[in-house]
Amino acid sequence: MQRAHVEGLRKADPVTLSVLAQDLIRKPLVKLDPRSLCDLIALAESEAITGSLSRDLRKFKDQMLREVSDLADGVRLGDFLGDLIETGASRVPSSLRDVVLERSESDESPDTVSRRATLVEAFDTTEPDAVTVTSEPEIRVVKAQPKKAPVERAKAVRVSGTTGGARSKAASKAKVKDMNRVAWIRDDIMERLSNYGSKGIKESLLIAGAIHRSPYKDLSPAEIKSELGALKELERIQLKVGRWSVRGAW
């Protein structure tokens, strides 16, 4: 089973973090990559996070620690300890360390005993990494290319000497690229909205998340809004009370 992970959470600015964390904090323990689990719990313990994000992270932390405490003895607990070993002791925050060691103390299965001993040694010699939250949001600036006047465009065509066949091939490649781009945007929108059910998500958060995850460096809010409109016309999504959701989820 693929587990959700976003790299760079500990160094993100509050605005970016609020976008990235929304998807992750809604997932149960079994669907979270242990790296993201550790990062989010560490952020919940940080005084650098304030406001509603801080409250959401604290609730997430409490829920995750309860789920860790409820892990079944044997394979489930042993696998989780193995995940933490692979993650690295420095990434595991203090509260998670305490719960893990307390929970695993009574499990006498060979894998758990061995992995617990490994973690005890690692925790004793390695301090948890600090959280570094930046104050400025990461804003992607896209420099627009100046448009040529009609006369300049005509000159450019004459000078280039581009044949009709070459232009046709170039246009065909651009069309394929655009279709791939559209497909990515629509898939991202549908995947994100599927995690929010009837509650939906605000358009600004939806757009910010898509831009952050996009493989296209020049992706603009206008493109995402255009595909939101297209998906709405196709009756796949809907907009109510300022929030987008999958159609039929209400």
Amino acid at site 13: D
Nearest to 76 by CA among 103, 37, 39, 36: 103
The pLDDT score that the predictor gives to residue 166 is: 52
Give the chain's end-to-end CA distance (angstroms, integer).
Answer: 28
- Residue 93 banded pLDDT, cuts 50, 70, 90: very high
Token digits of residue 214: 């996009």
- Residue 228 banded pLDDT, cuts 50, 70, 90: very high
Average pLDDT over residues 50-77: 92
Average pLDDT over residues 188-204: 85
User: Domain segments of the chain: what residues?
Assistant: 9-125, 165-246
Residue 137 vs residues 48, 133, 142, 159, 203: alpha-carbon distances, Å? 14, 10, 15, 44, 18
CATH code of domain 165-246: 1.10.10
pLDDT in tens, 56-69: 999 999 999 999 99
The pLDDT score that the predictor gives to residue 194 is: 84
- Residue 135 banded pLDDT, cuts 50, 70, 90: low
Average pLDDT over residues 90-99: 95
Average pLDDT over residues 37-57: 89
Cα atoms in the 13 Å half-sphere on the side-chain side of 118: 16
Amino acid at site 145: Q
pLDDT in tens, 151-179: 454 554 454 554 555 555 555 554 455 78
Average pLDDT over residues 106-130: 93
Which of these ranges, 11-25, 39-53, 95-109, 166-180, has the smallest mean pLDDT? Answer: 166-180
The pLDDT score that the predictor gives to residue 23 is: 83
SS3 of the chain: CCCECCCCHHHCCHHHHHHHHHHHCCCCHHHECHHHHHHHHHHHCCCCCCHHHHHHHHHHHHHHHHHHHCCCCCHHHHHHHHHHHHHCHHHCCHHHHHHHHHHHCCCCCHHHHHHHHHHHHHHHHCCCCCCCCCCCCCCCCCCCCCCCCHHHHHHHHHHHCCCHHHHHHHHHHHHHHHHHHHHHHHHHHHHHHHCCHHHCEEHHHHHHHHHHHCCCCCCCHHHHHHHHHHHHHCCCEEEECCEEEECCCC
The pLDDT score that the predictor gives to residue 157 is: 47
- Residue 138 banded pLDDT, cuts 50, 70, 90: very low
State the residue for tokens 């044997």: 74
Average pLDDT over residues 175-186: 77
The pLDDT score that the predictor gives to residue 69 is: 93
Asked if residue 143 has pLDDT above 60, the reply is no
Indicate if the alpha-carbon torsion angle 126, 128, 129, 130 is positive or negative: negative
